[in-house]
Amino acid sequence: MFQGLLRVFGVGRETLHPLDPRSLEGRSPKWRALQQRFVREKKCCFITRLRVDLEVHHKIPYHVRPDLELEWDNLCLLTRPVHYLIGHHCNWAYYNQNFEEEAARLAEEVAAARGRDF
């Protein structure tokens, strides 16, 4: 189980899945800097508001629309587990076509839950 989870999140892999967002294969030379600027500006996961293990998600992924790779409005900052689950439904080759709507709803629900007593 634990090993399976590690595999899901790409821990301990020697090579990345070609569609893993951490792979820089074929990416624009501008991607890394843009990604770093996006993280600096957005600061936290759009859904959880956490500031750890952040990744930049392409709402329409690079392998589907490479022309949108550097499009600011096509990006969303997420923690890696949220990215994999909500952005890609646990398959990097797949993407959530209702991402914006679902992410907005989940962000509201998380914020509401945080507002309740712990």
Q: C-beta of 3: minimal distance to Zn ion in Å?
A: 24
Residue 96 · residue 102 · CB < 8 Å: yes
- DSSP annotation of 85 reads I
Q: Which of 35, 45, 48, 57 binds Zn ion (CB under 5 A)?
A: 57
- Residue of minimal Cβ distance to Zn ion: 57
Q: Measured between alpha carbons, how far is 80 from 77 in angstroms, rounded to an integer?
A: 9
DSSP-derived 3-state class of residue 103: helix
Q: Which of 47, 75, 79, 87 binds Zn ion (CB under 5 A)?
A: 87
**Is residue 77 a contact residue for Zn ion (CB under 5 A)?**
no
Name the site residues for Zn ion (rule: CB under 5 A): 57, 87
